[in-house]
Structure 1
Amino acid sequence: MREQKKAVSEQKKSCVNCGAELKYKPGTTNITCEYCGHQETIIQDKNGFKELELKPYLQEMGAQSHSEKIMMLHCKNCGANQHVEENYKSLHCVYCTMPLIIEDAYKEDWILPGALIPFQFDQKKSHQIFSKWVKGLWFAPNNLKKAALDPQYTKGLYLPYWTFDAQLYANYRGQRGDYYYVSVPYTTTVNGKTVRRTRQERRTRWTSVSGHIQGFVDDTLIKASRQQENPIPKKISNWNLKALESFNTSFLAGFVTEKYTIPLKEGHLASTKEAEQIATNWARRDIGGDRQRVHDLQMSLSDETFKHILLPVYISSYRYSGKKYNFFINGQTGKISGGRPYSFWKIFFTVLLIICIIIVIYLLLDS
């Protein structure tokens, strides 16, 4: 049974017409042949994706029921673990562009993704977004623009995340602050005379409160890979999780998939901290008034479930003067962010031009 699972996971689909490998076509539910145009529909689970019960996994029981082996390539330069759902040819790390040694590929267990957001546009469109962004950069080196115009530097990557759901219960103690105003006398000088006046000053009346809150915490999103050298910018890390689709390996065809390096237990601890912040916000809302203080919060979570999900991003890497820069595009929304180098000579000649213009204007005015 387990051997059958492995085969399904790593099976590559060939075109019935020409035998070429079928790849996922972004923005659709099809896999397509890049050579003859043949398409096949990705058959999705009618029951939708499942939330997995958290407790058995944390206790290292039952984990095998939703896990299987996947072929991985480890980048020895930056440490990223990557899987490519296509025949291996010439491969480079999607983060640092260093060559990956195909002979070093190995199989490793992973908790199967329960869902993913498929790429909504293709590499050509991402390439256009990158190019437009780079062209708009002031003082960018010319060879940076040339690199950005080369599609081979743009790769599609599925990022691993954990999501957690739970019923939240909490008791709190704190204080409610209500504003009130008092008249305060003061003196001022008007036309050389001392005048007594009053002004309104705001004060806060604090009263002790306590209460109970409860609610459902839905899809707390926790990053599942460390990305120590090249973290994904927060600016693009906003996905509409309502667009999640049931996981199907066909969606991965033609893209790189990063395996999680933050284990489930560590992800759960991070989600618990997020839940505590949510509970604190709920307590503040429950306290009401103009200001709130939460002194003590006793929280518990029940009916906890989780999913391993994959989210799409395009990455382009470029080295300039020995330093690597990464550019990122959200594969769902098209939002872009990244680092950039500056051209010393462009800045130098711009400053020099400005100085020359100032000198010319000064001479004209002085003549």
Structure 2
Amino acid sequence: MEDIKSQKSELKKACVNCGAELLYAPGTTTLVCEYCSYEETIQPLNESFEELELKPYLEKIGGQSHSEEIAMLQCKNCGANQHIEEHYKSLHCIYCSMPLIIEDAYKEEWILPGAVLPFQIDHKKAHLIFKSWVKGLWFAPNKLKKAVLNPELVRGLYLPYWTFDAYLNADYTGQRGDYYYVNVPYTTTQNGKTVTRTRQERRTRWSYASGHVNGFVDDTLVRGSRQNTGNIPSKITRWDLKKLKAFDSSYLSGFVTEKYTISLKDGHLKSTDEARKIAELWARRDIGGDTQRVSSIDMELSNETFKHILLPVYISTYKFNGKRYNFYVNGENGSISGDRPYSFWKIFLTVIVVLIVIVLIAQFAK
């Protein structure tokens, strides 16, 4: 067990030819040396994901069986906890670009990831996506393009998430609503005369409903960290979890890894809230009819398991006219979202041109 654990914890591999650090090549199962181009295939220790029984972890029993110590740096500006590989010569927070001091590194325990979704697009493509996005921005300052030309500002990050599985049983009470229509008279004026007409109005017939629903709730995804700044936009937080691979630290080589700051307990509370929403959705389907009201749900979760997973995103923080802006690219599918500046003069001149056109049209219309 100790041999397996030490292999899983190894975050760096040396090139057999030149001794340089091997880096993961996104979209492959290969480690590559950027100096001599040597390649090595990643051979995962496990083919299946590790689903851990939830209850012992919540009770702080067996917590050492799937955990390890890693070196962490915490940003004093935004609070992000980051494990940064040695090849990052300039240590700056990936979220807010504040300097990180290597002497501030400390050891901290974490629950080992059970799975990782490796980067599917590389650094170069992520930078091209960003440049294309900037090019398509309306009213963006001309100097913005110069501010984002440096590809070194784009860095890959593995985000921590919790996933929870459980078998759900729920008893519910509520009401079933069935639509019906009635003819309702109304009056209107036509040719100076009052005319009575009818129109159909929809009504709802309510009846009592109760029942039981059950089923398996699979991979409820809960974010594992939060920062004071640089929160990841929900627009890019959709990954294809079918591409998850059993955790192997080789996939982390060349990227920053963020440690979870939302505890397993808090993540579980969030997943329970999501399970309750699922139970209500199942209850509504079970009630049937045209519309439903759910009055109460008595829910029970059993056979609960969880895993800690890592999901990929590219982040860039850049400054423009003294203000910091962030943008994010999903490392699996390339979706993009971010903050952007606006050019006051471009907007002002556009408004002036539009007003001039309106005045000219009005003049010609006369």
Band of TM-score, shorter chain = over 0.9
Q: Deviations over 1:31-52 (max 9, x none)?
A: 0001111100111134311110
Query: Residues 55 and 353 of structure 1: is their aligned pair in 2 closer, same or farther, counting only changes over 3 Å?
Result: same
> Counterpart in 1 of 2:350?
350
> For 2:134, what is the secondary structure of its paired residue?
helix
The AA in structure 2 aligned to 1:222 is V
> Counterpart in 1 of 2:199?
199
**Cα displacement (A) at 1:348:** 2.7
TM-score normalised according to structure 1 size: 0.94
Q: Deviations over 1:213-236 (max 9, x none)?
A: 000000000000013311111111
Q: Is 1:110 the equivalent of 2:110? A: yes
> Counterpart in 2 of 1:44?
44
> Counterpart in 2 of 1:59?
59
Question: Greater CA deviation, 348-357 or 214-223?
Answer: 348-357
Q: Deviations over 1:162-193 (max 9, x none)?
A: 00000000000000000111222233333333
How far apart in 1 are the matches of 2:356 and 2:208? 68
Q: Is 1:6–1:68's contact at 8 Å kept on the other side of the alignment?
A: no
Q: Over aligned residues, Cα RMSD in angstroms?
A: 2.0
Indicate the percent of aligned positions where both proteins have the same amino acid: 67
How far apart in 2 are the matches of 1:181 and 1:356? 54
**Cα displacement (A) at 1:359:** 5.8
> Counterpart in 1 of 2:78?
78
> Counterpart in 2 of 1:164?
164
Q: Deviations over 1:67-113 (max 9, x none)?
A: 00111111111111101234452211110011111111111100000
> Counterpart in 2 of 1:262?
262
Query: Residues 188 and 347 of structure 1: is their aligned pair in 2 closer, same or farther, counting only changes over 3 Å?
Result: closer
How far apart in 2 are the matches of 1:327 and 1:333? 15
Q: Is 1:143 the equivalent of 2:143? A: yes
The AA in structure 2 aligned to 1:329 is V
Query: Residues 254 and 75 of structure 1: is their aligned pair in 2 closer, same or farther, counting only changes over 3 Å?
Result: same
> Counterpart in 2 of 1:89?
89
The AA in structure 2 aligned to 1:322 is G
How far apart in 2 are the matches of 1:138 and 1:192? 54
Question: Greater CA deviation, 44-53 or 244-253?
Answer: 44-53
Query: Residues 8 and 113 of structure 1: is their aligned pair in 2 closer, same or farther, counting only changes over 3 Å?
Result: closer
The AA in structure 1 aligned to 2:270 is A
**Cα displacement (A) at 1:347:** 2.2
Q: Is 1:318 the equivalent of 2:280? A: no
> Counterpart in 1 of 2:253?
253
Q: Is 2:11–2:250's contact at 8 Å kept on the other side of the alignment?
A: no
> Counterpart in 2 of 1:296?
296
Q: Is 1:307 the equivalent of 2:307? A: yes
> Counterpart in 1 of 2:128?
128
How far apart in 1 are the matches of 2:152 and 2:268? 37
Query: Residues 95 and 185 of structure 1: is their aligned pair in 2 closer, same or farther, counting only changes over 3 Å?
Result: same
**Cα displacement (A) at 1:141:** 2.0
> For 1:266, what is the secondary structure of its paired residue?
helix
Query: Residues 241 and 249 of structure 1: is their aligned pair in 2 closer, same or farther, counting only changes over 3 Å?
Result: same
Q: Is 2:127–2:154's contact at 8 Å kept on the other side of the alignment?
A: yes
How far apart in 1 are the matches of 2:198 and 2:223? 56
How far apart in 2 are the matches of 1:149 and 1:90? 18
Q: Is 2:147–2:320's contact at 8 Å kept on the other side of the alignment?
A: no
How far apart in 2 are the matches of 1:8 and 1:279? 37
Query: Residues 247 and 199 of structure 1: is their aligned pair in 2 closer, same or farther, counting only changes over 3 Å?
Result: same
**Cα displacement (A) at 1:336:** 0.4
The AA in structure 1 aligned to 2:243 is A
Query: Residues 285 and 363 of structure 1: is their aligned pair in 2 closer, same or farther, counting only changes over 3 Å?
Result: closer
How far apart in 1 are the matches of 2:185 and 2:355? 57
Q: Is 1:243 the equivalent of 2:221? A: no
TM-score normalised according to structure 2 size: 0.95
> For 1:91, what is the secondary structure of its paired residue?
coil
> For 2:64, what is the secondary structure of its paired residue?
helix
How far apart in 2 are the matches of 1:167 and 1:8? 30
Q: Deviations over 1:306-364 (max 9, x none)?
A: 01000000011112233211101110010001111112222233334444555666777
> Counterpart in 2 of 1:283?
283
Query: Residues 93 and 347 of structure 1: is their aligned pair in 2 closer, same or farther, counting only changes over 3 Å?
Result: same
> Counterpart in 2 of 1:230?
230
The AA in structure 1 aligned to 2:255 is F
Segments of structure 2 that go 5 or more residues without pairing to the other structure are none
> For 2:65, what is the secondary structure of its paired residue?
helix
Segments of structure 1 that go 5 or more residues without pairing to the other structure are none
**Cα displacement (A) at 1:11:** 4.6
> For 2:143, what is the secondary structure of its paired residue?
helix
Q: Is 1:175–1:206's contact at 8 Å kept on the other side of the alignment?
A: yes
Q: Deviations over 1:101-143 (max 9, x none)?
A: 1111111100000001100011000000000000111121233
> For 1:226, what is the secondary structure of its paired residue?
coil
